[in-house]
Amino acid sequence: MDATAVAHTARLVATVLAPLGVVDADAPRIQYGPGHRLLVQRGDEELAVVGLGPTGQEHGAELRFPAPWPRPFGDVTVSPTGDLAVFSGVHAVRAVDRTGTVHWELPHGCWSAAKCTAGHASFEEYADDPRHRHADRGSAAFSPDGKLVWAHVRHAQDWPHEEWLVLDAADGSVLGRTRTSTVGSASAHFPHPDGSCMGLTVGEGHEDSPSL
């Protein structure tokens, strides 16, 4: 430790109630970016979102999104304005609004660790398969202005290669892509104030040790 460092005592500045119960939902997490902070909690059947103020003491209305598949199957991100949720699943990345209307869907290779090379058209095809319930997972994130979605996915034809995609948030069209040269078990995005940049960590191997 730096000998000149000054110790500070942490203090509680705000408390926000979790929107969903702890039995049927993941622990809430904070999704943050330049100019916005959202409390996000994923349940099996729905996603709950609460906008947080600058100090965390003020918070906005609670928003709910119907979930296209249960929470063990992938991850989710929310647009900065809270009007669109993008679920990164085992077989596809899907964007839905608060009514459950699908705005777009991008199929990709299966994230099952059981070397599944099937091109799944729907969640129902593998819903009851234990090998898919414990599948690996990619992730997605919005740019700060909400116009782009960055997505880490498994390649649609070339298993097990993975890609990093830049998508148009309005219609899901692919604007850019590159291979990551990883065989990941999970990944996470880290937004950058510059909307043309994004951070990505891919976990691989023992306990998701980061490889990229």
Give residue-wise pLDDT tens across range 17-56.
889 988 889 999 999 877 788 999 999 999 999 998 876 6
Beta bridge partners of 188: 201
Specify the fold of 69-208. Answer: Methylamine Dehydrogenase; Chain H (2.130.10)
What is the distance between the alpha carbons of residues 207 and 200, in angstroms, rounded to a whole number? 17
Average pLDDT over residues 12-21: 85
Report H helices in the chain.
Answer: 130-133
The pLDDT of residue 156: 87
Mean pLDDT score of the chain: 90
Q: Which of 81, 82, 109 is nearest to 93 (CA)?
A: 109
The pLDDT of residue 129: 93
Average pLDDT over residues 92-102: 97
